[in-house]
Amino acid sequence: WCVPDTADFADYGCVLEIRQIELLADGRSLVDTIGRRRFRVLSRGHRDGYHTADIEYLEDKKVAGEELQELQCLHENTYRLAQRFCEHGDLASRHILMHHGPLPEKEEDIQALADGPTWCWWLISILPLEPSYQLNLFSTTSLRARLTQLQRILKAGLCLGDQSHLLSCSRAKENSP
């Protein structure tokens, strides 16, 4: 994950699976990827002109009992907001959805995947958020914290009916818990 205006790379990243490569006539390549596993950079280095890093994989913290029930409720409510957001978007939002496809189905077991529900990551990738805020969401290992932040963003977007303000909302929320 690159952070704009820096010569280095971020403290967090994602292992990508290459799904398709298209070689263009001018020598460039169009690479279609999907994120598979988040990681945190432990140390950095260089080899043969390339950045290298020692990493540790991230995994969302598991919860049980009443805490899991509350998390499932938060998950359901946030997913419903995401559905409303995708259904009531402006023209620019509809173009984004045409490019990225529809909102993924929600998983029944919200803790089955180490990184949490797939639809959260899809949503984070399409929302017009500052990279530093995206990185904040990306690096957290609390599904509750990630869903709470997404819910705030979606509520703000739905209440105002204009998703272009989400970028400024992310700035205001960047330092909130």
SS3 23: strand
Q: What is the pLDDT of residue 90?
A: 66
**The pairing of beta strand 50-57 with beta strand 12-23:** unpaired
Successive 10-residue mean pLDDT values, the chain, 177 residues = 60 91 95 91 93 95 97 96 82 72 91 94 89 90 97 82 43 40
pLDDT at 170: 40
Give me the pLDDT at residue 19, please.
92
Q: How far is 78 from 164, CA to CA, in rounded Å?
A: 20
Q: What is the structure's pLDDT at 89?
A: 64
pLDDT at 73: 96
Q: What's the pLDDT at 171? A: 38
Residue 28: what pLDDT?
Answer: 95
Determine contact, residues 32/19, Cβ cutoff 8 Å: yes
- For residue 151, which of 175, 107, 120, 110 has the smallest C-alpha distance? 120
pLDDT for 166: 43
Task: Return the domain boundaries, the chain.
Answer: 12-57, 65-172
The 3-class secondary structure across 102-116, one letter per residue, is CCCCCCCCCCCCCCC
- CA-to-CA distance for 104 and 116, rounded, in angstroms? 13
| d(C-alpha 148, C-alpha 165), whole Å | 18
Sheet-wide strand order for 12-23: 12-23, 29-47, 50-57
